[in-house]
Chains A and B, each alone.
Chain A
Amino acid sequence: MPSTNVTTIPTDQPDPFVTRSFLEEVVDAVPGDPRLTACLQCGTCGGSCPSGPDMEHTPRQLFAMINAGMRAEVLRSNTPWYCVSCYFCMARCPQKVQITDIMYALKRKAIEDGESRSSSAADAPKFSEAFVNFVENYGRSFELGVAARFHFVQHPGEALKMATSIGIGMMRKGRMDLTPTRIKGVKQLQTILDRARELGGTA
């Protein structure tokens, strides 16, 4: 008869079976109350979403999955990355669920957990990173730099060709800078951002 190895949980440790649910975690990652628990699965959000047909899960499906604790599936979905932040769903949601802010929170979680790398939209965070990098270093965005950094590294094929042709057109029309602009208070800005990073929370 095989011996079963039963270990008892020491009583001074938190019970590992009572962990914070994924739902609570998502709710906490949004400032204020995102009203996610009020979702009644009506589907208005998905039906209103411009990228709905191209999403792997509609916002409604995603919210049901969050409720079911399907952490990895949710964080690997392309849905948050295909959200273009148009607020159509939020304007129409009968329960005033703060859908767009939840999508942002899911993007952050997907990066944090490393799951965005397994998403079909794995490139998307890199665009945000390239963009933010210039903002953190100069205080201003810099289109040419972002396009160069993102497309040269990520898409050395068709997309680069298109980005290049657009870039040349933009220059010709005087609509693109060759060098980034730096604000005077860039040190002050960086101190503020560093402090914000230390504080971390989302309230």
Chain B
Amino acid sequence: MTHTINLIAQSRPETMERVLRVVRHRGFALNAVEMKNCDKNNTVNIQLTVSGERPISNLEHQLKKLYDVTELELNSALSQSAVAMNA
């Protein structure tokens, strides 16, 4: 199963590392990734495409648990207004 995850996180030097580590450790393969700095609130927007056999809700919860992650949407684009607000 392939899933897309779209999230907004606080921008720290290691934010991307944290996200990728969780994806790997919780049993998902990374198919594609894109990160954009949103320069206003010191946040980043990360879009991931992942695949794996395990329930995606597990990964979703684990990513939301990351302290820096503030918003997360699964299999849908974050509403344009949410991205815009953080941009």
A, B bound: no
Residues of A within 8 A of B (CB): none
Q: Which residues of B contact A (CB under 8 A)?
A: none
